[in-house]
Amino acid sequence: MPRKSVKLVSAEGFEFTVDYKAACVSNTIKQMLSSEGNFTETELGEINFPEISAPILEKICEYFYYKLRYMNESSKTIPEFQIPPEMALELLKASNYLDT
Please give the residue ranges that form the binding site for another protein (CB under 8 A).
4-5, 10-19, 22, 53-55, 58, 61-62, 64-66, 68-69, 72-73, 86
Smallest gap from Cβ 99 to another protein, in A, equals 20
**Which residue's CB is nearer to another protein, number 32 or number 65?**
65
Q: Please check whether residue 14 is in contact with residue 27, taking contact to mean a CB–CB distance below 8 angstroms.
A: no
Please give the Cα distance from 14 to 18 (Å, whole number): 13
**Which residue's CB is nearer to another protein, number 35 or number 69?**
69
Smallest gap from Cβ 32 to another protein, in A, equals 18
Smallest gap from Cβ 1 to another protein, in A, equals 17
**Which residue's CB is nearer to another protein, number 53 or number 100?**
53
**Which residue's CB is nearer to another protein, number 3 or number 35?**
3
Instruction: Indicate the residue type of 37.
Output: G
